Chains A and B, each alone.
Chain A
Amino acid sequence: MTLTRRNVLKVGAAAAALPLLGGKAFAQAEPLKVGFMLIGTVNDNGWNFGHAQGAKFMKEALGDAVAEPTIVENVPEGPDCERVLRELAQSGHKLIFATSFGYGDYVIKVAEQFPDVKFEHATGYQRSDNVATYNARFHEGRAVCGTIAGHLSKTGKAGYIGSFPIPEVVLGINSFVLAARKVNPAFEITPVYISTWNDPAKEADAARAMIDQGIDIIAQHTDGPAALQVAEERGIVGGFGQGADMVAFAPKAQLTSIIDNWGPTYVESAEAVIAGTWASADRWPGLKEGEVQIGPYNASIPADVVAAAEAVKAGQIDGSFNIFTGPINDHTGAERVAAGVTLTDGELLSMDWYVEGVNPPA
């Protein structure tokens, strides 16, 4: 069930009236109500679509143990999200997923007022007794894409459309470039930040601006397929789907895709709440757990390149390969990570520097 915010209000009003009718007695037998708060629409074919698919997976996996999940779309990262969180908590949702970085402060604030409700904040870093954080190691997928880019790019130049220069985006760029430079040491990338998650026309124009200036591979950390469509139209080497398989938009240009698979995480959390074993934690699964998946490879990619990409994927799954193991130089060429040293999760999550091969934006 996809609810508008107005409907949530109605549900909230109905739930608020329940105790008056003596409803507390049967509250225990009720299925677990799980709420999801999204920054965009479930129809974005990317990030938010992925979370909605995860919610659906959870309902299918747990059946009658959970109620039909409540999904509130288009909630801005501001005071409005605090209201939505409170309405969800007041209407009987005992597990609430807030799926955008900027919700963090509000989640902590509302969680204090509802100690019996469990909150989970995607891509966040602030936790409390009833607030957990979770994320996916998308950068592992970026390393697979970067390997392909390093092999296939003729100009050795790639474009990368970012939303905002936050650590998660920087991490993806660095992972992509490190992987590409293992194949082609002269590979370089120019990130362009467009200051929005969803403005498809601007994404397309950014892709045009990059292609007109000589890149032949494009990657993006925004929520839609606009850049891939431009890549298809211009006939460059290609690009990568982000968040979901976008092959329908770019059958020739999509080389492969990074697919978000939140379903297992959501099942795990809901089961823990039902069993009463839920505890605040920070979870960061990746390729190994299947939370990050690599979509089908384009048939045009030569077999040896597919093999190289699969090797990077397999190495990250069995732990034999880590893209952030030194030596790593920063963009000025100075050594940042010594040989044999691997960056910790904390260092990855606060990454604010670019590796060698990135032309840093102003």
Chain B
Amino acid sequence: MTPELLVAIIVTVVGASTPILIAALGELIVEKSGVLNLGVEGMMLVGAITAFVIVFVTGNHYLAILLAAAAGVATSLIFGFLTLSLSANQTATGLALTIFGTGFSALAGQGYSARPVTLLGPLFPAEIATHPMWRVLFGYSALVYFALIMVVAVWFFLKRTRAGLILRAVGENDLSAHSIGYSVIGVRYLAVMFGGAMAGIAGACFPLLLTPQWAERMTAGRGWIAVALVVFASWKPFRLLAGAYLFGLVVTMELYAKAGGGPLSAIPSELWAALPYLATVVVLVLISIRRDASTNAPACLGKPFLPAN
């Protein structure tokens, strides 16, 4: 394998991993506040069609990312209102949100399917962004660096800030947080909105980073991968980064191995398809062996907040 090919593979892996990482970081914050939002896939699709339409109409990629985030927030507020204000079942509402997002994006996208846009270009100047070797560090669009910065930001927020501590308190013991005067519902609304914004940006990655078109259901289940990754990473941002890149590596290596021949191409595609799930099982087993880490799930995850009046 030549160094150039290695660089090319890494660039593709990073692209494939980025939307999953962004969506999962949002869901991690949501779950840390004690809320389980299974509507990630739906919010991503709303973000994807919003980004596509904005780029198609204005040609401005950054405006598209911004408005995709706003659309994700708006979609997440439907979930927030139902589960937080009305205490509806979070699992059922999240599933409904995915179905809604799928249908809404398909409706909004009618008439946009035969229209191409352009990808968001690299952030750095072309001399280093297209260099055969240096592009491994500098060849990406802003979305990739945003995802990496957000990994550190989410970790810092949860571990090192007072607001992060409050968020974790709300997720671990909502009644205690409530009794000392924190607004449990308010904190959870903010967390759900952050999750919506990140899912919207993750959706924007599809037309702006991966394939410059609109196709119905173009996220193809990656929102669910993001939800699973949060558990896989036991609610830790840096493990999430590793998990997302590992997933991207497996799905991308499958394609490179099949296209390039060589020893890896002898692996049947069924085994490649099973690898991420096998990895999940292995990680879950490892987590279970270490008893202290298995309690990392937020204690109030998925439970509606119903204070005794």
**Chain A residues in contact with chain B, CB under 8 A?**
40-41, 43-45, 49, 74, 159, 190, 192-196, 198-206, 208-210, 212-213, 215, 224-226, 229-230, 233, 248-249, 359, 361-362
Complex contact B259–A45 (CB within 8 A): no
B1 to chain A, nearest CB (A): 10
Say whether, besides A206-B255, A362-B266, A195 and B273 are in contact (CB < 8 Å): yes
**Chain B residues in contact with chain A, CB under 8 A?**
5, 8-9, 12, 15-16, 106, 109-116, 119, 206, 210-213, 215-220, 222, 251-252, 255-256, 258-261, 265-269, 273
- In the complex, the chain A residue whose C-beta lies closest to that of B103 is A4
Beyond A41-B113, A192-B258, A229-B116, list 18 extra A-B contacts (CB 8 Å).
Answer: A45-B113, A190-B261, A192-B259, A200-B206, A200-B218, A200-B220, A201-B16, A206-B255, A208-B12, A209-B9, A209-B12, A212-B9, A213-B256, A213-B259, A248-B114, A249-B213, A361-B265, A362-B266
Q: How far is the CA of A198 from the CA of B215 in the complex (A)?
A: 9
A324 to chain B, nearest CB (A): 26
Complex contact B260–A213 (CB within 8 A): yes
Complex contact A205–B260 (CB within 8 A): no
Q: How far is the CA of A199 from the CA of B218 in the complex (A)?
A: 6
Q: Which residues of B contact A74 (CB under 8 A)?
A: 216
Q: Which residues of A contact B110 (CB under 8 A)?
A: 43
Complex contact A192–B211 (CB within 8 A): no
Complex contact A43–B116 (CB within 8 A): no
Say whether, besides A190-B258, A213-B260, A224-B213, A205 and B15 are in contact (CB < 8 Å): yes
Complex contact A198–B217 (CB within 8 A): yes
Q: Which residues of B contact A201 (CB under 8 A)?
A: 16, 206, 210-211, 218-220, 222
Q: How far is the CA of A201 from the CA of B217 in the complex (A)?
A: 11
Q: How far is the CA of A205 from the CA of B106 in the complex (A)?
A: 23
Complex contact A213–B5 (CB within 8 A): yes
Complex contact A248–B116 (CB within 8 A): yes
25 A–B contacts from the bound complex (CB under 8 Å): A41-B106, A43-B215, A44-B113, A190-B259, A190-B260, A198-B217, A200-B215, A200-B218, A201-B219, A202-B220, A204-B210, A205-B251, A209-B9, A209-B260, A210-B259, A212-B9, A213-B260, A215-B259, A224-B213, A226-B213, A229-B116, A229-B212, A229-B213, A233-B119, A361-B269
B271 to chain A, nearest CB (A): 9
Complex contact A209–B259 (CB within 8 A): yes
B130 to chain A, nearest CB (A): 12
Q: How far is the CA of A233 from the CA of B121 in the complex (A)?
A: 11
- In the complex, the chain A residue whose C-beta lies closest to that of B261 is A359
- In the complex, the chain B residue whose C-beta lies closest to that of A223 is B215
Complex contact A199–B260 (CB within 8 A): no
Q: Which residues of B contact A230 (CB under 8 A)?
A: 211
Q: Which residues of A contact B251 (CB under 8 A)?
A: 202, 205
Q: How far is the CA of A213 from the CA of B9 in the complex (A)?
A: 10
- In the complex, the chain B residue whose C-beta lies closest to that of A196 is B220
